[in-house]
Amino acid sequence: MKIGILTSGGDCPGLNAVIRGAVLKGIKVHGQEFVGFRDGWRGVVEGDIMDLPRQSVRGISKQGGTILGTSRTNPFEGDAGPDVIKAHLERLGIDAIIAIGGEGTLAAAKRLTDAGLKIVGVPKTVDNDLDATDYTFGFDTAVQIATEAIDRLRTTGESHHRCMIAEVMGRHVGWIALHAGMASGAHAILIPEQQVSIEQISEWVTEAHDRGRAPLVVVAEGFVPSHMESPHSIRGLDTFGRPRLGGIADQLAPEIEARTGIETRATILGHIQRGGVPSAFDRVLATRLGMAAIDSVVDGRWGTMVSLSGTEIDHVAFDAALGNLKTVPQHRYDEAAILFG
C-alpha cells in the first residue's frame, strides 16, 4: 500500500514528528510505502510529490516546521477538485492520504472524502481550537515560547515602570493567551471569547501599577474590545477569505496610556510562536497521532481524524471536529480573572 502525506495550513511544531511516527509504523508494521505531497493541497492538486523512505524521517521529530512544506492552498479552487486529484493519485499509484492540518484542511478533507477519496486526518493547530480533541500538538510549544517571551517583557517592564502588552496568536479562541497569561502572572488576559471595555482594562492596569507592579497585559490577536465590532485586521484576506489578524496590541497601547497615564508598550509575538523545536509533550503527542493515523488507514476509517481523549488516542469523524470551535469556557476565564488587576 502506498500512502501520501500532506501538511497544510499554518505550520506548527510537531508536524515532522507526525510524519516520522506514521512513516516508521507504516514501514515497520505493515510494509507500506510513503510519499509526501509538497506544500499541502498544492502538491495534491498538482501531483507534486517526494519519496519518503525510512531514512528521510531520521531524527526529524525534534525539527520545527515541516519537511514537506505547507501552504494555504484550497484544493477546490480554480480547476482543481476531486476528479483532478483522483487522476493524480491513480497515476502515482497512491492508495490513501493522511492530511495533517487544522480546520480549513480538515474541512477540505471532508469534502474530498465525501467525493470518494480515501483520506484520514491528523488535527493540527497552535491555537488549540479544534473540537473533538483535548489538545492539538504545537499548542504546548507555543504556550512555552510565549511564556518565555512574556517573562522577558516583564523584567524590562519592571525596570522602566511601564505597562507591557504582549500579543499572542489565537484567531477565534484564547487558549494561548489564557495559558501563557496565567503562566506569566498577567494582570489582564484578553481573549476573543470575552469582550472587555477599554475602561475595564485600564482599571486592571492602574490597580497593578498602584501596587508598584509593572502591569502586564496578554492579548490574543482575535480579541475584540467592546468598542469594536470585529477583530483588528489591516492585512487583507488569506486564501480561504479569512481576515489576516495581528496588531490589536498596537491599538490598545495608546488607548491604555491615554487613560492611565502609564507609559505603555506593545509587542506582537507573531510567528515566533510557531517556529523552532517542539516541546517534549508535543513530540510525544504528534508521534502517537502519526502512528494512530496508520491504524486508521489500515482499518479504512476514511473521513475520520485521530484525536486525544484524556491520555488516549481516539478516532473521530471529521464532522465531530468541524461542528464547533473549542472555545475557552466561561469558568476557565472566570478562574483566571480572579487574579487580574
Q: Which residues bind ligand F6P (CB under 6 A)?
A: 10, 72, 102, 125-127, 169-171, 221, 238, 244-245, 274
What 3-state DSSP class applies to 276? Answer: coil
Provide the 3-class DSSP secondary structure of residue 331.
helix
Cβ at position 273, least distance to ligand F6P in Å: 7
Grid coordinates belonging to 2: 502506498
The residue (of 169 and 188) whose beta carbon lies closer to ligand F6P is: 169
Nearest one of 177, 204, 211, 213 to 192, comparing CA atoms: 177
| Least CB distance to ligand F6P at residue 64 (A) | 14
Residue nearest to ligand F6P (CB): 169
79, 83, 95, 127: the catalytic one is 127
Nearer CB in complex with ligand F6P: 94/173: 173
Query: Which backbone phi and psi does 209 adopt, to 5 degrees?
Result: -65, -40
Q: 125 or 251: whose CB is closer to ligand F6P?
A: 125
CB of 56 to ligand F6P, least distance (A): 25
Cβ distance to ligand F6P smaller for residue 131 or 238: 238
Give least dist CB 146 to ligand F6P, A: 12
What are the distances in angstroms from CA 174 to CA 127, 150, 192? Answer: 8, 16, 6
Q: Which residues, at least 6 apart from 112, have a Cβ–Cβ distance to it below 8 Å?
A: 75, 82, 85, 119
We find the least distance from the C-beta atom of residue 40 to ligand F6P, in angstroms, to be: 12
Residue 127 annotated as catalytic: yes
Task: Choose among 10, 248, 17: nearest CA to 129.
Answer: 10
Tell me the three cell numbers of residue 137: 500538538
Taking the least distance from each CB to ligand F6P, the nearer of 33 and 127 is 127
Residue written as grid cell 495581528: 246
Query: What's the Cα-to-Cα distance from 37 to each of 67, 69, 320, 335, rounded to whole Å?
Result: 10, 8, 26, 44
3-state secondary structure of 89: helix
Q: Which residues are catalytically annotated?
A: 127
